[in-house]
Amino acid sequence: MKKEDLRIVYMGTPDFAVEALRCLVEGGYNVVGVITMPDKPAGRGHKLQYSPVKQYALDHNLPLLQPEKLKNEEFLDALRAWQADLQIVVAFRMLPEVVWNMPRLGTFNLHASLLPQYRGAAPINWAVINGETETGITTFFLKHEIDTGEVIQQVRVPIADTDDVGIVHDKLMMLGGKLVTETVDTILDGTIHSIPQEEMGVTGELKPAPKIFKETCRIDWKQPVKRIYDFVRGLSPYPSAWTELIHPDGTTVVLKVFETEKIIKPHNLGTGSLLTDGKTYIHVAAQDGFVSIRSLQLPGKKRLKTDELLRGFHLDNSFKMK
C-alpha cells in the first residue's frame, strides 16, 4: 500500500502534537481526519480558545472532531465513517478500547520518554526534575494499561545540565515528527517489529511521570542545591516553580522562579535564608549551599532578571523564602 492510500486519523491537542501532524501532511500522507480536545475558555475574557492542533487542522482544511466523551455513539459513528486504517495519538488523552481497537492496523502513540521509564502525563518535566542526563521519544501500540503497549521505535536524546523543560520539549517535538512518519513507513512496508516493554531489559526502578499540579511546583529549600536547581529547570518555563517570599512583618508574596545557578559551599544559615545586596543577586540557603536566583516573576508582573526586579523591589537579608 502507498502512503497516499493509507487512511490515517490523527489525535492530539498541544503544540507538541502539531509537529508530527505537520510532518504527515507535508509528507503526503493521507490524513482523513483530526481529533482534538473541545475548545477551552482562556484569558480574562474567558474567550474560547482553539487547541494548536485544531488551528493547524483548520488552516489545512482537515476534517475535525472535538468530542466531549470518547464513548459517545455519535462520535464513534463519525469516527467509523472516516474508515481509518491507522490511528496516531500524540499528547491527547486516554482512549477507550472501542476507539484504539477500531482501525485494522491499530493505533500507535508517540510518548516523550524512553518507555517503560516515565509513563504518565508529564514525562519531560519529571526527567529534568530528576536530573536525568538522557531522555527520548517512543512510538508504541496502544493497549489497555496506559503507556504499556509494545514499543515500535525509540530515539535517545541527551539532556544538558543547563537545559530547562522548554528546551527539551522542543528537541523532542522536532524529533517526534520525524519518528512518527518513520513509524508509519515501517507499518506500510511491513518491516515493523514491536517489542513488549517487559522484554526491554530496563535496569533499576521504573520512574513515573504523574500529572503536575500547583502544589507539586512548590520549592522545598530543605533539599540539596542540585535537587532544587533541577526542580526549577524541570518546571521552566511552564508551569514554573514557585516559593513564598516572607517579609519581615510576616506578610508573604508568591514568586515564580525560572532560572537558577548552583553555589555549593558550607554555611550556618537556616534553609530559606536570603543573602542579597539588594541590587544584583539573590542567594537562597539550601541544605548544602546556595541557590542563586537568576530569573523570577512577581504576581501580575512579567518575568525579569534578578537585577531588573531589584531595581523596583526592595529586598534585604531580613526576608526569607518558604
Q: Is the peptide bond before 237 cis (omega within 30 degrees of 0)?
A: yes
Joined together, the cell numbers standing for residue 71 give: 464513548
The CA distance from 87 to 79, in Å, is: 11
Do 88 and 221 fall within a single domain? no
Do 188 and 307 fall within a single domain? no
Do 31 and 180 fall within a single domain? yes
- CATH code at position 132: 3.40.50.170
pLDDT computed for residue 145 by the predictor: 81
**Cα R_g (the chain), whole angstroms:** 23
pLDDT computed for residue 97 by the predictor: 95
Phi, psi angle pair for 109, to nearest 5°: -120, 145
Q: What is the pTM of this model?
A: 0.94
Question: pLDDT tens-digit profile of 110-139?
Answer: 999 999 999 999 999 999 999 999 999 999
Q: Is 113 annotated as a binding residue?
A: yes
CB 271 within 8 A of CB 209: no
Joined together, the cell numbers standing for residue 101 give: 481497537
- Which domain-ending residue is among 150, 169, 199? 199
Do 129 and 257 fall within a single domain? no
- CATH code at position 263: 3.10.25.10
pLDDT bucket at 267, cuts 50 / 70 / 90: very high
Q: How many domains is the chain partitioned into structurally? A: 2
Do 115 and 191 fall within a single domain? yes
- Asked, for residue 241, whether it belongs to a domain, the answer is yes
pLDDT bucket at 46, cuts 50 / 70 / 90: confident
Do 63 and 15 fall within a single domain? yes
Do 192 and 285 fall within a single domain? no
- Cell 504527515 belongs to 24
- Asked, for residue 2, whether it belongs to a domain, the answer is no
Q: Is 114 annotated as a binding residue?
A: yes
Mean pLDDT in residue range 155-173? 98
- Asked, for residue 204, whether it belongs to a domain, the answer is no
Do 251 and 309 fall within a single domain? yes
pLDDT bucket at 79, cuts 50 / 70 / 90: very high
Q: Is 116 annotated as a binding residue?
A: yes
Give me the helix-helix angle, 52-59 and 15-26, nearest 10°: 30
Bridge partners of 296, per DSSP, are 257, 304
Question: pLDDT tens-digit profile of 233-259?
Answer: 999 999 999 999 999 999 999 999 999
Do 45 and 111 fall within a single domain? yes
Do 171 and 124 fall within a single domain? yes
Joined together, the cell numbers standing for residue 117 give: 521509564
- Which domain-ending residue is among 199, 227, 247? 199
C-alpha torsion angle, residues 212, 214, 219, 223 (rounded to 10): -40
Structural domain that includes position 269: 215-321
- Which domain-ending residue is among 199, 225, 242? 199
**261: helix, strand or coil:** strand
The CA distance from 277 to 246, in Å, is: 17
If one counts every other C-beta atom within 10 angstroms of the C-beta of residue 17, the result is 28
- Asked, for residue 206, whether it belongs to a domain, the answer is no
Q: 264, 240, 268, 265: which is closest to 254 by C-alpha?
A: 240
Do 195 and 308 fall within a single domain? no
**55: helix, strand or coil:** helix
pLDDT computed for residue 303 by the predictor: 97
Q: 107, 132, 104: which is closest to 118 by C-alpha?
A: 132
Do 103 and 234 fall within a single domain? no
pLDDT computed for residue 204 by the predictor: 83
pLDDT beyond 90 at 1? no
pLDDT computed for residue 285 by the predictor: 98
